[in-house]
Structure 1
């Protein structure tokens, strides 16, 4: 019982080490990996090679599948190119299995020691994350040595030998068991390495191990399909296509297991090498034979899983892809795109305000007010989506971007509320009351409205580009808009003094309106603050220090007298 528990603990440590390497590699190289994948889709062969490289770094073809699925869902990559990347990803996993099947246990203490030192000394930095990657690699190598030791002990048990011997007569059972283990462990790499170790320790025969390897490959395809079940249809097409490749590969290689044992077995005396070489050959042959049919497989997948004509919200494609959550940099991009749509809805509401005022359009006013529900829903969806991103998986820059997106969506939601209140006031105090602004007052409102719309567009650009120069320009607009509001408020008071009838009838609405426009402008200009603060441009305190003693409660003289 103790030996079995040790084996299970070693397997868990192997899976955990793989998880650490995958997560922190994405944290350090996530943006660069996205660029590599995006730039390599010119043809199927370069796409496949990029899949090899990215998966070799991530230690997981499933992680690559989730990244690629997000790209396809966002329209950044065609399904054909994505399937070619996945063929390369599976080959990359098999290459890493070849590497880790070597006896590298001597590297384990070195990796763990260096990794812990880097992580403790440089937490929340790139060096610290590299340290976590080294810790993960060290744990993987340590786990493999523990698996070997535990497996050797288990081979002494007659009950275990009898149980595992029952697998030798049923290839379908071997494939099923391998697939289940791969899904449960969330890593086909870990399972293949485990199978190789068990075969080398004679816990299972090589014949059984090869059947389990076929199942592990099939399980990695199933895992990606299961992970993306709630994703948009476009994101689910890639895992489904990859699963089709897995099924075809297993069907092609199943008759070759006996041939492999007959013709390759005599030349490879180490059972672990036999297993990982078979795993590599499986994926290499699958890549070579199937890369030419990616277009046909893409057509089959689109036929089996067609994109609904209206799988959108209000006729619009959603950008909050759940499958992208495994890759924080991609998930943040999805949130930015959804936040920009929220800002577009707010701009539509804001631009419609002037038409409502000029034309007394009651129907338009009510229609624009209903759009605030969309703004609120988008704010809620984006906020919930961002909370599902692990903050620990974000580096410092991504963490700041996460906060900026939250702040931006909150500001847009509040601006939507302001516009809704403005429209409600116009409906009650102007349209239904049959009142009109004075000609001068209408001109002032039109000018403030035009400035506000321009500032909103500038704010959206600042949020999207993080350009400090545009942020400075936006912040300057805040002062200009404030001066404009004070000027027009004084002009309105002067018209009241001149007994202007229209000004007297709409006085309350007029002053409330320009005040609400100023409040909305302040929320827009707030977008600039985090960008300027990160750039070191924004002073920590806007108060003039030389003025503070003069404004002290007792003054300098009183302080001296005490």
Structure 2
């Protein structure tokens, strides 16, 4: 135990100040071992950033959207938020990844996101100024608090916030481990020889520092190395300045690489940030002779000069870009536009805002769009069955993505329907509008049941390596097919207002009640056997049956309006007590 504590302290201290203890611990490693360690630490960083983003999004949801929309609507406030967040996280890379993620999810507009990124670039320079500050005790506290919260809290927001704290602790730990791993590089004799020959080629020095910063996923680690090399006289002032520029460029490449697999909105912020860095580096190289004379005239210590130039560079780039940010945001929107609706299933295809002036046409557009939701739900039901029949987690992931598409379509539809003028609608149009909303709401609820309940059970089943017996799979497949048939019948009622088909859907709800009763009786029988594995599998079958019954109830709810209008549905199934 004491050895583990010593390793952890050495790693944290090496990350914070490149202490001699950390260097001694790492100098015995080969270059291959150092590269493998960096790869693992980068993977931990990326995973922890995803955990923080997912935890915050799940904990706050729409409230986070509202806070970001109101609190970061000003470029100047967003800039300040970027400075504070990065100073707290001690990583502009981590901040940039979260900003790109929030921007991609639509939680923050592009101009404030770019302003926040400029603030993050300045915030990381403050870390260099106060690099002696020891936050090693914060890492275990965050991890411990997060773990305890995930184990203790039952409410979703509190548990997800605990997950975010746990991820934040892992994020800081991974950054410090990377800084510790990079410690021996500054003492490499080969590196000293190479850098000594770069005094006449600042571009190569810039690219070398950019590669170093990119590999470490941290400009802080790279800047510390540059400061150390400058302090020991390995590099001169021109090379030092060029390498500081390169450190700023390299750390901007990490969020861009990470965002390449995201949507266009997620790529715009890192693209704008790296454009800022490239322009700054080009200006810095052009002005390098003038900057060199200025720094030498100040007669600062080499390490101090590197830190101050790092701060001055980022402040200058923020001053140049903050004012024209709206124009830059519009340019990025043109360069990376949203994909066409035909290629993005989550975007509406028929909700033409110009048609709102003619409510009957707008209502027809909303009807066409809600039928797209039907197709998505049908595909989700089909894929959810495959997730129970096989052990492919990709099926579970595909259903989750489909639910995101469904949620997006639902949001578009409800906003569009809400904008249709009611005064110009006839009584029949009002009923039609109500039917559109009822269908959209129930489809969205069905998607939530499939994604949050059925797919959670399917994923847990795959994780636990449990298989449902053939007769259970056959029963589940039959229920899925019944649901898909009922969904088609419900659409027939929605389009043609066929009362007989609506009555059939309501009558067949009894089939699912009977299937639920059979599942309960089967589960009770398995409980009497006392065989634990059989009881667990039986409970899983019962939970699946109940969720499928809930889906059927939502399908049936879409025809209630028509049956009530026809006087074919009573308000309550309870018998009235004699008065």
TM-score normalised by structure 2 residue count: 0.53
Q: 1:164 aligns with which of 189, 192, 195?
A: 195
CA deviation after TM superposition for structure 1 residue 217, in Å = 1.3
The aligned counterpart of 1:57 is 88
Q: Is the 8 A contact 2:51 2:167 kept in 1?
A: no
Change over 3 Å in CA distance of 1:424–1:444 after alignment to 2: closer
The equivalences for 1:145-544 within 5 A come to 151=186, 154=188, 157=189, 160-267=191-298, 269-310=300-341, 312-314=343-345, 316=347, 349=374, 372-373=378-379, 375-376=381-382, 383-384=396-397, 405-409=451-455, 417-422=481-486, 445=504, 482=513, 520-522=548-550
Q: Is the 8 A contact 1:18 1:137 kept in 2?
A: no
Cα distance in 2, alignment partners of residues 28 and 223 from structure 1: 17
Q: Is the 8 A contact 2:185 2:191 kept in 1?
A: no
Cα distance in 2, alignment partners of residues 112 and 77 from structure 1: 28
Cα distance in 1, alignment partners of residues 450 and 380 from structure 2: 21
CA deviation after TM superposition for structure 1 residue 482, in Å = 4.9
Change over 3 Å in CA distance of 1:89–1:277 after alignment to 2: same
Cα distance in 1, alignment partners of residues 380 and 141 from structure 2: 51
Structure with the bigger RCO (C-alpha within 8 Å, sep 6+) is 1
CA deviation after TM superposition for structure 1 residue 173, in Å = 0.8
CA deviation after TM superposition for structure 1 residue 292, in Å = 0.6
Name which one, 1 or 2, has greater alpha-carbon Rg. 1
Cα distance in 1, alignment partners of residues 180 and 334 from structure 2: 47
Change over 3 Å in CA distance of 1:404–1:422 after alignment to 2: closer
- 1:74 aligns to 2:105 (yes or no): yes
Aligned residues: 391
Q: Is the 8 A contact 2:489 2:505 kept in 1?
A: no
Cα distance in 2, alignment partners of residues 290 and 122 from structure 1: 41
Change over 3 Å in CA distance of 1:62–1:266 after alignment to 2: same
Structure 1 runs not aligned, ≥5 long: 319-343, 350-367, 389-401, 431-436, 453-477, 487-515, 527-562
- 1:98 aligns to 2:111 (yes or no): no
CA deviation after TM superposition for structure 1 residue 383, in Å = 2.5
For 1:310, what is the secondary structure of its paired residue?
coil
Q: Is the 8 A contact 2:68 2:108 kept in 1?
A: no
Q: Is the 8 A contact 1:112 1:139 kept in 2?
A: no
TM-score normalised by structure 1 residue count: 0.54
Change over 3 Å in CA distance of 1:281–1:186 after alignment to 2: same
Cα distance in 2, alignment partners of residues 62 and 14 from structure 1: 15
Change over 3 Å in CA distance of 1:66–1:141 after alignment to 2: closer
